[in-house]
Amino acid sequence: MSNLLEKFLRYVKVETKSDENTGTTPSTKGQWDLAKILVDELKAMGVEDVTLSEYGYVYASIPSNMDKEVPTIGFISHMDTSPDMTGENVNPQIVKNYDGEDIVLNKELKVVLSPKQFPELSSYKGKTLITTDGITLLGADDKAGVSEIMTAVEYIMTHPEFKHGNIKIGFTPDEEIGEGADHFDVEFFNADLAYTMDGGPEGELECENFNASGVKVKINGRNVHPGSAKNKMINSMLIANEYLNNLPEETPSNTEGYEGFYHLIDIKGEVEETVMSFIIRDFFNDSFEARNNKMEEIAAKLNEKYGQGTLEVTIKEQYKNMKEKIEPVWYVVENAKKAMEEVGVIPEIKPIRGGTDGARLSFMGLPTPNIFTGGENYHGKYEFACLETMEKAVEVILKIVEVYTR
């Protein structure tokens, strides 16, 4: 495990924030940079079958060393980080033997990671935490997963006595913008099942997730000189405010468990034009469809008031709840659960209030539950990871491999 932290610290230094506006795959150059680093490291470990696809996906295979046929298992993580906050010049801080008190991330900016705001910190007393410096995100989502898979591969390649079947490795771009599986070649990957290493605290084992869509609401206004604007000006920003006031108060900050939400993630506006970007999330098909319909219904109502064409709504499905694809092959969950228990981890089977590449891959014919990586507070400056939990994740990967050899 000695190389796990070193790998993680190296990978988070590579800026890989994805960007839904570029129209390319990967959507940003930094993801190419990390992909090439991973290819070189895999080859240096002795992994012979390593491929970097034209879309920036990294695939690798480790052939079986057994004299009997066992299932081919894949392990997958994504290379990009969230566009919600900068991942440039990440400067991780290491807190050894955490004392349970406030952690000053940035003294000058007065940024403090406190158990008062984040009660989960109390459970990490005595552990080693990796935090941000209060300026960027950390990138544990999902470079913790990448590091854990790479560390497990390193162990397998340096311990020929470790028995295993065929193992497939996949690193994907653009998961954070819902495009991580767009060009994933399931047939080329050629695994019977897979696991994404893309979860949070120790024990998370997830086989159901949100249905997800991205929604853009464009509002077309009319700008004239304010001195002569009566009955002429249409202020698109005020209509945007009216639109928001028509949405139910079901936002991420006041929902939990199986409750869905509407989440405004970006707004850019001036009198002439305002564009709002939302993500819609819901576990259940009927209520998910109702949420998407609600976005159009509000626009239709306001178009009646301000004129047809004033509001334009575009809805793009991002991924679906993997539950219906995992339940028929429930052994993939039971085997992960067994592996966790055998390395001293208490499994917590829970829904993902988010999504992973595994959701879409499951609908593409590759059943792919999700496993913890040890990070928390993703997508912002309060993100942190626990080294001991990351080490347990590596143990779980190796134990899963072992379970499938029995």
Q: What is the CATH classification number for the domain harbouring 224?
A: 3.30.70.360
- Looking at the structure, do residues 108 and 140 belong to the same domain, yes or no? yes
**Mean predicted lDDT score pLDDT of the chain:** 96
Predicted local distance difference test score (pLDDT) of residue 318: 87
Measured between alpha carbons, how far is residue 91 from residues 132, 134, 270 in Å? 6, 9, 36
Do 85 and 191 lie in a common domain? yes
15 as an active site residue: the answer is: no
Do 274 and 174 belong to one domain? no
Catalytic annotation, pick one of 142, 154, 174, 175 = 175
Burial of residue 91 (CB within 10 Å: 0-12, 13-18, 19+) is middle
What is the arithmetic mean of pLDDT over 308-319?
Answer: 94
Widest pairwise Cα distance in the chain: 85
Residues 138 and 149 in one domain: yes
Decide if pLDDT at 135 tops 90: yes
Q: For residue 1, what pLDDT band results from cuts at 50, 70 and 90?
A: very low
Tell me which of 266, 289, 319 is where a domain ends: 319
Residue list for the binding site for Zn(2+): 78, 141, 176, 198, 379
Averaged pLDDT, 381-400: 98
- 25 with 79, same domain? yes
State the CATH number of the domain containing residue 100.
Answer: 3.40.630.10
Q: Which residue ranges make up the annotated binding site? A: 78, 141, 176, 198, 379
pLDDT score for 239? 98
Q: Which residue has the tokens 């696991």?
A: 195
Half-sphere exposure for 68 (CA within 13 Å, toward CB):
5
Domain shared by 306 and 328, yes or no: no
Do 182 and 238 sit in the same domain of this protein?
Answer: no
Sign of CA pseudo-dihedral 148, 149, 150, 156:
positive
Q: Tell me the residue length of the chain.
A: 406
pLDDT at 151 over 60: yes
Percent of the chain with pLDDT over 90: 96
Q: How many CB atoms lie within 10 A of CB 123?
A: 13
Asked if 197 and 221 sit in the same domain, the reply is no
Three-state SS for the chain is CHHHHHHHHHHHCCCCECCCCCCCCCCCHHHHHHHHHHHHHHHHCCCCEEEECCCCCEEEEECCCCCCCCCCEEEEEECCECCCCCCCCCCCEEECCCCCCCEEEECCCCEEECCCCCHHHHHHCCCCEEECCCCCCCCHHHHHHHHHHHHHHHHHHHCCCCCCCCEEEEEECCHHHCCCCCCCCHHHHCCCEEEEECCCCCCEEECCECEEEEEEEEEECECCCHHHCCCCCECHHHHHHHHHHCCCCCCHHHCCCCCCEEEEEEEEECCCEEEEEEEEEECCHHHHHHHHHHHHHHHHHHHHHHCCCCEEEEEEEEECCCHHHHHHHCHHHHHHHHHHHHCCCCCEECCECCCCHHHHHHHCCCCCCEECCCEECCCCCCCEEEHHHHHHHHHHHHHHHHHCCC
Tell whether the model's pLDDT for residue 246 goes beyond 70.
yes
Mark which of 289, 319, 349 sits at the end of a domain: 319
User: Is 22:28 a contact under the CB 8 Å cutoff?
Assistant: yes
How is residue 254 written in tokens?
């006041």
CA–CA gap between residue 87 and residue 139 (Å, rounded):
7
Our answer to whether residue 266 is catalytic in this structure is no
What's the pLDDT at 356? Answer: 81
Half-sphere exposure of 283 (CA within 13 A, CB side): 14
Q: Is the dihedral of CA 140, 142, 143, 149 positive or negative?
A: positive
Q: How far apart are CA 88 and CA 66, in angstroms?
A: 44
Give me the number of domains the chain comprises: 2
Pick the catalytic residue: 15, 80, 154, 282? 80
How many C-beta atoms lie closer than 10 Å to residue 89's C-beta? Answer: 10
Which of 303, 319, 335 corresponds to the end of one domain?
Answer: 319
Same domain, yes or no: 162 and 249: no
80 within 8 A of 58, measured Cβ to Cβ? no
Has residue 178 got a pLDDT over 90? no
* Overall average pLDDT of the 89-109 stretch: 97
Report, as an integer, the average pLDDT of 91-114. Answer: 97
Q: Same structural domain for residues 132 and 220?
A: no
**β-pairing, 193-197 with 370-371?**
parallel
Residues 14 and 131 grouped into a single domain: yes
Reference 142, options 75, 199, 227; nearest CA is 199
Query: Do 109 and 67 reside in the same domain of the chain?
Result: yes
So what's the pLDDT on residue 110? 96
Q: The domain containing residue 147 runs over which residues? A: 2-209+321-403
pLDDT at 2 over 90: no
